[in-house]
Amino acid sequence: MNNKSNGLLIYVILCGIFISCLIAANLIFLKFFELNITFLNITFTQSVGLLAYPITFLITDIVSEIYGQKKANYLVISGIISSIIVLFLIYVADSVPAASFSTPENDKVDNATFNLVFGQFGVAMAASLFTFLVCQLIDIRIFHFWKKLTKGKYLWLRNNFSTITSQLIDTFLILFLLMTLNPEEGLENWNDLKLLFINGFIFKIIVALVDTPLLYISVFLFRKKFKLKDNEEINLN
């Protein structure tokens, strides 16, 4: 395979990982966990869905750096379309009555159980998709603004500034929309919103800083494999 074919294959693989993490984050968001950092005296309370989201932003930055802004936008659009299809299929599945033998006693899932898991999925995922689309496009735009300004240098600055800015907007928008559209689903007052916002944003800043070395390693390997110069991108056209 030539470099163009290899580049296309890796791009498709990155798209697959990106879409998988995006859909998984929206499917598992109803479970929450607490992470205690004793020496900082901080306890993070977050949805387990948050564990998958940082991977999507890391992949977006890798694609932005190696393949360019247009391919990064295509990546985000493909993720949104895939999520909408999943949302539609879940809605259809939830609407279809379960068979008489489909009960927990028979190791099957009945209507009530299915609705308990996926019934709250619609509003949350709609809010999540909206904020995700807005914030990913902001992330990509900021990343490339600084890439042009720095002439492809200071990758750590571009990565962290774009990710932290977009995550600040993402954290506020998703919680605000959930609070506004469906307040009975756990966010019962604005104190909950404030707590989850602070916890979520601090957690995302830490993750953004941690994933910087992973971005550097990934970009180094890409440039070595495809013999790319600084600020040079893979052309798949």
Q: What is the mean pLDDT of residues 69-77?
A: 92
Give CA–CA dist 173/127, Å, rounded: 8
Count how many domains the chain has.
Answer: 1
Q: What is the pLDDT of residue 11?
A: 95
Using CA atoms, how far apart are residues 60 and 49, in angstroms rounded to an integer? 18
- The answer to the question of residue 196 being in a domain is yes
Per-residue pLDDT of 116-159, as tens digits, reads 777 766 666 677 777 878 888 888 999 889 888 888 888 888 88
- Is residue 40 domain-resident? no
With 80 as the cut, is the pLDDT of residue 61 above it?
A: yes
**Does residue 49 form part of some domain?**
yes
Provide the 3-class DSSP secondary structure of residue 229: coil
**Who wins on pLDDT, 16 or 185?**
16
Position 171 in a domain? yes
176 close to 192: Cβ distance less than 8 angstroms = no
Q: What is the pTM of this model?
A: 0.83
| 39 found inside a domain | no
For 113, residues 6+ apart whose C-beta sits below 8 A from its C-beta are 104
Looking up residue 68, the CATH number of its domain turns out to be 1.10.1760
Q: Average per-residue pLDDT in the chain? A: 82
Looking at residue 109, its pLDDT comes to 84
User: Domain range for residue 22?
Assistant: 3-34+45-97+105-226
Spell out a b/e string for 86-121, using b for 16 or more CB atoms within 10 Å of the CB, else e: bbeebeeeeeeebeeeeeeeeeebbeeebeeebebb
Between CA 126 and CA 133 the distance in angstroms is: 11
Residue 232 lies in a domain: no
- Residue at 166 is within a domain: yes
What are the pLDDT digits (tens) for 4-40? 888 999 999 999 999 999 888 878 877 778 777 777 6
Q: What is the pLDDT of residue 123?
A: 67
Q: Is 237 a domain residue?
A: no
